[in-house]
Structure 1
């Protein structure tokens, strides 16, 4: 009878441990965000696109040769936190070491951004024509 009680207790402990592995995540709800950034009607490569929520972690992505970007939240988690964001678009610093970065875009698109976006659950296509 003791053997049955010990194995029952062991099963109960294992069940509790396994249940804890799939517990709730502290990651917020995310919406997938893609889009195109163009300047004067032409797509621009190597721009850093950052969505900064009212509170929480920002998401970012880099434009490709077609001006397309996709936001990454953290690690393998793609997207941005659902809700209102300030959007910053700046020249990616790929210059030479020990040389100051020269921002090619006006500050109204980055350090003093006037751009905003609302991210919804699901897929969001948000283009920016600068």
Structure 2
């Protein structure tokens, strides 16, 4: 009887360990089957500092995003533990904005008080239509494996 109890406890211990080791935790990541990279250009010139967003046409999927470097190159990431992008069809937007300078005093300024000043709207540095999924006209089909998807914008 005692030997059966030890075997049962050993089995429980092995199963418990395999559950914790076999499942990724909050800090772990899982490699997806697809990577997406590319270059964003505006009238043939690379666009630095733009945000590229891929939204899946299938509403149940997860989106992905990336930022362009000085050469206009981007690599997409997701906000989940999965590295890479799920294969599928995506609508794409590209946004590059310049924050408007504010002339409103800060709370530390002795002149602070009264009604807040209306701040100027941020300025689009590429045509505004590209910043909205609905109007960008940009789409992508992500396939399993490595994907290079250039995004060629026009003024």
Q: TM-score range by the shorter chain?
A: 0.7 to 0.9
8 A contact 1:72–1:80 mirrored in 2: yes
SS in 2 for 1:46: coil
TM-score, length-scaled by structure 1: 0.82
Q: Which moved more, 1:59-68 or 1:100-109?
A: 100-109
8 A contact 2:64–2:78 mirrored in 1: yes
Task: Give CA deviations for 1:60-93 in whole Å, capped at 9, x if unaligned.
Answer: 0000000000001135643222100001101156
Q: Which runs of 4+ in 1 moved over 6 A?
A: none
SS in 2 for 1:73: coil
**In the alignment, what sits opposite 1:7?**
6
**In the alignment, what sits opposite 1:113?**
136
TM-score, length-scaled by structure 2: 0.70
**In the alignment, what sits opposite 2:115?**
none
Q: How does 1:28-107 map to 2 (within 5 A)?
A: 30-54=33-57, 55=59, 56-74=61-79, 77-92=82-97, 100-107=121-128
Shift of 1:95: 5.9
Q: Larger C-alpha radius of gyration, 1 or 2? A: 2
Relative to 1, partners in 2 of residues 1:93 and 1:70: Cα closer, same or farther, differing over 3 Å?
farther
- How many residue pairs align between the two structures? 127
Distance in 2, Cα, partners of 1:110 & 1:62: 13
**CA root-mean-square deviation:** 2.6
Instruction: Indicate the structure with greater strand content.
Output: 1
Q: Which structure 1 residue ranges, 5 or more long, are not aligned?
A: none
Shift of 1:30: 4.4
Task: Give CA deviations for 1:84-113 in whole Å, capped at 9, x if unaligned.
Answer: 000110115666576532222224322122
